[in-house]
Amino acid sequence: MRLTFSAAIVVAGALLEPGETGAASAQTDSARRAEVVAHVGPSRTILVGEVEDRLSAMPAFQRATFGDSPAAIRRRFLDEVVVRESLLLLGAEAEGLGQKLPSAYAVDRARSSASIRAIRSRIGPASAIPMRDVRAYYEENRARYEAPERYQIWRILCATREEAQTVLDLATKDASPKTFADLARDHSQDKATRLRAGNIGFVTEDGTSNEPGLRVDPAVVRAARSVRDGEIVAHPVPEGDGFAIVWRRGTLVASKHAMEDVAAQIQEALWMARVKNETDGLVSRLRASKLRDLDQRLLDGVDLDLSHTRRRVSAPGEDSGR
């Protein structure tokens, strides 16, 4: 579609040649930045400050691609980037692309992402988080950075010593994960682990497992510590009212990280938490003040088979499936 619109370009002296006009030097910086470089269409104005801000955010090597002098850079950037974008925006408005799929989704996503970028900019970089905050986080979460030695243990809990000895003989005869898993399924009294080869996870010396809700008798851990990785304890281990067959599968050595070693990692974690809190807070405030007439019952009628709509929302030039 051919577009008809007026785009009158009025170049301000402050943008082009320093010294071309003596009046600009007498103006305050805010007044100078508020001068109009160009009018595009009926409502779009391009200000000196806008061009300055966009040029200052550009790396020097990239600015150099627009010319070999400051005047050439300013002129070409204005013409080939700022004005061109404004003219294309007029074309998009004339086509009504802001209300059509998929460009409408892209516009919404760009605005949403811009809000998050603004929040991140306001918070500042992760490296700016003070060390006192890092130290407080480290002390509150010391267990994350100081871990004792842990043992991966598979165990089958049997009701009697006789059953346990029988299971142990079968397990040692064919010490394979499949055999141990089958024996755990058929004999273990521990319903939480019987269907996963008796795996109780990585366990500390006091019997605490990394698996939520799991804990074993410390006697099982002591028995596992008496053998090497990959070995099955040679006798049934008393555990409560039963007897356990214990297989030490592996070991995680103790670790300790000083605060200085994890400071950057903690700063990043704190930064991400602050961005999330700010973002969630903004969404909550906007939800309270802007969201209305929410009827989730209508979601019951939403068609989740969207295959028939894909061709309709595909971008120009994309494969339509023909």
Rounded to whole angstroms, the Cα distance separating 99 from 65 reads: 35
Question: Residue type for 154, please?
Answer: W
Dihedral sign (CA 39, 40, 44, 45): negative
Query: Alpha-carbon torsion 19, 20, 26, 28, what sign?
Result: negative
The rounded radius of gyration (Å) of the Cα atoms in the chain is 34
Q: Is residue 298 part of a domain?
A: no
**Does residue 137 share a domain with residue 182?**
no
Tokens representing 297? 């019952």
Same domain, 196 and 215: yes
pLDDT at 26: 47
Residue 308 is predicted with a pLDDT of: 59
Residue ending a domain, choose from 219, 253, 287:
253
Say whether both 138 and 158 belong to one domain: no
300-314 burial: b if 16+ Cβ within 10 Å, else e: eeeeeeeeeeeeeee
Specify whether 79 is located in the same domain as 134: no
Q: Is residue 216 part of a domain?
A: yes
Torsion sign over Cα 192, 195, 196, 200: positive
In a domain, 117, yes or no: yes
- Is residue 62 within 8 Å of residue 54, measured between CB atoms? no
Residue 80 domain-assigned? yes
Contact 65, 80 (CB under 8 A): no
The whole domain housing 81 covers: 13-123
In the numeric block, which tokens belong to residue 249?
A: 């599968």
Shared domain check, 138 and 209: no
What's the CATH code of the domain at 207?
3.10.50.40
Question: Residue 244 falls within a domain, yes or no?
Answer: yes
Is residue 213 located within the same domain as residue 78? no
Which of 196, 219, 253 terminates a domain? The answer is: 253
Q: Within this chain, do residues 132 and 156 fall inside the same structural domain, yes or no?
A: no
Kindly state the tokens that stand for 305: 């088979």
In 3D, which of 173, 140, 317 has the Cα closest to residue 245?
Answer: 173
**Same structural domain for residues 231 and 267?**
no
CA 32 to CA 12: how far, in whole Å? Answer: 9
Give residue 310's pLDDT.
52
For 155, how many CA atoms within 13 A lie in the half-sphere containing its CB? 37
Task: Specify whether 66 is located in the same domain as 98.
Answer: yes
For residue 288, being part of any structural domain is answered with: no
pTM: 0.54
Q: Are residues 83 and 167 in the same domain?
A: no
Q: Are residues 192 and 139 in the same domain?
A: no
Structurally, the chain folds into a number of domains equal to 3
Same domain, 27 and 99: yes
pLDDT tens for the chain, 322 residues: list them. 343 333 334 343 444 444 544 544 545 888 888 999 899 988 889 999 999 999 998 999 999 999 999 999 999 999 999 999 999 988 888 888 888 888 888 888 999 999 999 999 999 999 999 999 999 999 999 888 988 999 999 999 999 999 999 999 999 999 999 999 999 999 999 999 999 999 999 999 999 998 888 889 999 999 999 999 999 999 999 999 999 999 999 999 999 999 999 999 999 999 999 999 999 999 999 999 999 888 988 888 888 876 655 555 444 444 444 3
Q: What pLDDT score does 317 carry?
A: 47
